[in-house]
Amino acid sequence: MNLIFLGAPGSGKGTQAATLVQDFGLAHVSTGDMLRAAVANQTPLGLEAHGYMSAGKLVPDSVVIGIIEERLNTPECAHGVLLDGFPRTVPQAIALSEMMKRMGKTLDRVIYLEVGEEELFQRLSGRGRADDTPETVRSRLKVYQDQTSPLIAHYASEGLLARIEGVGSVEDIGARIRAALKA
């Protein structure tokens, strides 16, 4: 099973992904985690990505598409993946679809965690991550609106979208996701 988690920053993708990958035996592929590791290790990728991340902007498509392709080709991803934070733009979604076709993989479902803007701002402001300053938070929410939210209609038109209300307890939201995957 290959899944995408779609949702704004602060929608709870990472939290839900953590238990879902365990229950379903999927590889957790988070571009945010991969990029933060690259920044911490000061690799060439990290040095390139750092400025974009600390400004709350997206790292260029070509860069993230490259790291995803490399990762999806590893044996760890053979039994299914949960993509968390990728794709974030329509060109990324198109590139993903093409690379999966080449690899003989299919995309089974896109789980969209729906959370209102006010709630997102509250959650992100209290998280304490390096890229969670008020300015950066505002920029990341705007980038999400402008560049990522078009993916909701994109995947709905492909019949892959499962809309999940992302407000409530972690357990309740997890139960909604599992129910949607069974449907």
Q: By CB under 6 A, name the binding residues for ligand AMP.
A: 9, 31-32, 35, 52-53, 56-59, 64, 85-86, 88, 92, 140
* Closest CB 67 distance from ligand AMP, rounded Å: 9
Burial category of 114 from C-beta neighbours within 10 Å (exposed 0-12, middle 13-18, buried 19 and up): middle
Contact 63, 143 (CB under 8 A): no
* Closest CB 171 distance from ligand AMP, rounded Å: 23
Chain residue whose CB lies nearest ligand AMP: 32
Kindly tell me which of 52 and 121 has the beta carbon lying closer to ligand AMP. Answer: 52
* Closest CB 88 distance from ligand AMP, rounded Å: 4
Kindly tell me which of 16 and 92 has the beta carbon lying closer to ligand AMP. Answer: 92
Kindly tell me which of 41 and 175 has the beta carbon lying closer to ligand AMP. Answer: 41
Separation between Cα atoms, residue 56 and residue 96, nearest integer Å: 23
Kindly tell me which of 42 and 175 has the beta carbon lying closer to ligand AMP. Answer: 42
Helix 90-103, helix 150-157: angle, nearest 10? 40
Burial category of 147 from C-beta neighbours within 10 Å (exposed 0-12, middle 13-18, buried 19 and up): middle
Kindly tell me which of 143 and 164 has the beta carbon lying closer to ligand AMP. Answer: 143
Burial category of 144 from C-beta neighbours within 10 Å (exposed 0-12, middle 13-18, buried 19 and up): buried
* Closest CB 183 distance from ligand AMP, rounded Å: 27
* Closest CB 149 distance from ligand AMP, rounded Å: 14
Looking up tokens 């933060």 gives 36
3-class SS of residue 59: coil
